[in-house]
């Protein structure tokens, strides 16, 4: 399975540019080293988009369902003991983020529809609080956070519906061991956040595919201790996901994957937070500008991303500056480090 930059190697070689492998290894460190994580925007205490009119199409999917439904974000485990995951196939957007030890964790964003259950639910990370402000003030479900991060959760523009705050919406499964057996009922979660933000423009554009693009069958995104693959299925007209070289199955049946996959290169640095093993928590910088590769309809497009501030959405353009339209349906945003290439 080839990486995105293997796919585009020929065009970059002609320009004298090197080809990077997706992802990058990040060195171990102590909490006193390197850049510190900036605090997320403070909450206003009221829904930020209460006056926003209902859009004609859903800004997360380009569809017509659930236009006025609230926004719910859920942190979901993405390691072997958690598979197969529940509810991810129903998400509008699936973010893949690097966490401690070079592993990844998902943040699934729901609005147009809700699954019956979602999980395994895991703890939040500081990068989540920098991604979520573009949604207004959404409901945010997670199992908990380390004590040093609680003040950031309180200040963030989210409705905290963690296990600690909304315990009745969570339950344990007898089929798995702790901590991989915590699940939640999304409808019950949203009852605890009745003023959660409605969907609004976060920069996505849906429509006909732009001209160009490199015909692509598959690619692999890599992090220091994880890899995810996406293979184009002409039959299903979407990208089917794999994890660690194995098909990434949904607990409800079938394979996970999206109509559009955005591989977004974002600077990743160490934050001031650590897990209980002493591994630092990465901070993913999702504001500013950078490069991306957008996969849709069996093609890979070189693209650019731009997000001027944390309260604004992320826009994507083609290499020649035109809007990079997504295919209507589920979108995966795969955040990889835009630093030194990672070689497994």
Q: Is 252 left (phi over 0), alpha (psi -120 to 50) or beta?
A: alpha
**If you average pLDDT over residues 19-43, what whole number do you get?**
39
Mean pLDDT of the chain: 86
State the pLDDT at residue 40: 55
State the pLDDT at residue 249: 97
pLDDT digits (tens, 9 = 90+) for 130-143: 999 999 999 999 99
pLDDT of residue 113 exceeding 60, the answer is yes
pLDDT of residue 244 exceeding 50, the answer is yes
User: The dihedral of CA 18, 287, 24, 92: what is its sign?
Assistant: negative
Say what the pTM is: 0.85
State the pLDDT at residue 277: 72
**If you average pLDDT over residues 25-34, what whole number do you get?**
34
State the pLDDT at residue 48: 44
What's the pLDDT band for 5 if we cut at 50, 70, 90? very low
Q: How far is CA 117 from CA 106, 173, 273, 332, in A?
A: 15, 11, 30, 20
The CATH architecture to which 72-191 belongs is 3-Layer(bba) Sandwich (3.50)
State the pLDDT at residue 278: 73
Q: Where in the chain is the domain with CATH 3.50.90.10?
A: 4-14+22-27+203-337, 72-191
pLDDT of residue 25 exceeding 60, the answer is no
Proportion of the chain above pLDDT 90, given as a percent: 78
User: What CATH number matches the domain at 4-14+22-27+203-337, 1.10.760.10, 3.90.25.10, 3.50.90.10, 3.40.50.300?
Assistant: 3.50.90.10
What's the pLDDT band for 274 if we cut at 50, 70, 90? confident
């Amino acid at each position: 399975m080839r990486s995105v930059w293997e796919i585009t190697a020929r065009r970059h070689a002609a320009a004298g540019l090197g080809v990077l492998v997706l992802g990058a290894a990040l060195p171990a460190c102590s909490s006193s080293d390197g850049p510190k994580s900036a605090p997320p925007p403070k909450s206003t205490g009221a829904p930020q988009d209460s006056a926003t009119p209902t859009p004609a199409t859903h800004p997360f999917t380009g569809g017509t369902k659930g236009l006025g439904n609230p926004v719910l974000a859920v942190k979901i485990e993405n390691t072997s003991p958690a598979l197969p995951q529940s509810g991810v196939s129903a998400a509008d957007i699936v973010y893949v983020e690097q966490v401690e030890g070079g592993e990844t964790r998902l943040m699934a964003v729901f609005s147009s529809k809700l699954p019956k259950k979602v999980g395994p639910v895991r703890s939040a990370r500081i990068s989540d609080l920098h991604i979520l402000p573009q949604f207004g003030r959404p409901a945010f479900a997670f199992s908990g956070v380390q004590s040093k991060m609680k003040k950031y959760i309180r200040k963030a523009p989210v409705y905290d519906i963690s296990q600690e705050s909304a315990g009745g919406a969570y339950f344990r499964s007898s089929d798995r061991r702790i901590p991989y057996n915590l699940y939640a009922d999304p409808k019950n979660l949203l009852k605890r956040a009745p003023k959660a933000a409605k969907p609004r423009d976060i920069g996505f554009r849906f429509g006909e595919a732009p001209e160009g693009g490199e015909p692509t069958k598959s690619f692999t995104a890599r992090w220091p201790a994880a890899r995810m693959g996406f293979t184009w299925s002409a039959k299903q007209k979407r990208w089917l996901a794999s994890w660690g070289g194995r098909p990434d199955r949904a607990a409800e049946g079938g394979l996970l994957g999206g109509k559009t996959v955005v591989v977004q290169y974002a600077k990743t640095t160490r934050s001031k937070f650590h897990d209980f093993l002493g591994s630092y928590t990465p901070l993913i910088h999702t504001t500013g500008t950078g490069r991306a590769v957008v996969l849709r309809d069996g093609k890979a497009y070189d693209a650019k991303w731009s997000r001027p501030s944390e309260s604004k959405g992320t826009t994507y353009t083609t290499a020649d500056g035109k809007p990079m339209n997504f295919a209507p349906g589920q979108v995966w945003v795969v955040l990889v480090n835009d630093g030194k290439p990672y070689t497994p």
